[in-house]
Amino acid sequence: MLCSPASRAVIDTIDTIDTITRMAKVVFTPEADRQMQKLPRVIRYRLHDVVDRLEHWPDASGAKPLRHGLKGHYRIRTGDFRVMFRVVADEVWIVRIEHRKDVYED
C-alpha cells in the first residue's frame, strides 16, 4: 500500500521527532579526558566520529557489552584503540580510552 503525500509527511515528522528524542549526551570522565589528550592527533580525530555515533545511543553501531568484572560497561573500537563507556539514563559516560592491550587491565 502506498502512502499519500500528506501521510508520508506525517511519517517523516515522526521519524525526525524519534531521532531527536534519542540523542544521548556524551560525557567524558576526567580520566578519559586525560587519556584522550595524550593520544596522537589522528586517533583524537577518529574519536570525534565515535562520539557522534554514541550520541545516537542505543542505535550506535559497533558497541559491544562487556562481561564479568566489567559488566554494565560497553566498548566501541576505533582502530587499535578501545573506548570503554557506560550508559546512565540518557547519558553516555566515556570511562577509558586506551590501546586494546591495556584497556581491560586495572
Amino acid 10: pLDDT: 46
Omega before 58 within 30 of 0, i.e. cis = yes
Domain count, the chain: 1
pLDDT of amino acid 98: 93
DSSP 12-31: HHHHHHHHHHTPPEEEE-HH
What's 45's domain CATH number? 3.30.2310.20
Tell whether 18 is covered by a domain.
no
Q: Which domain holds residue 55?
A: 24-99
4 within a domain of the structure (yes/no) = no
pLDDT of res. 7: 46
Domain assignment of residue 14, yes or no = no
70 in a domain, yes or no?
A: yes
Q: Is 86:75 a contact under the CB 8 Å cutoff?
A: no
Domain annotation covers residue 19: no
Q: Is residue 43 part of a domain?
A: yes
**3 inside domain:** no
Predicted pLDDT at 47: 93
Give the other-Cβ count within 10 Å of 56's Cβ.
14
pLDDT of the chain along its 106 residues, tens only?
455 555 455 445 545 555 455 689 999 999 999 999 999 999 999 999 999 999 998 888 889 999 999 999 999 999 999 999 999 988 999 999 999 998 887 6
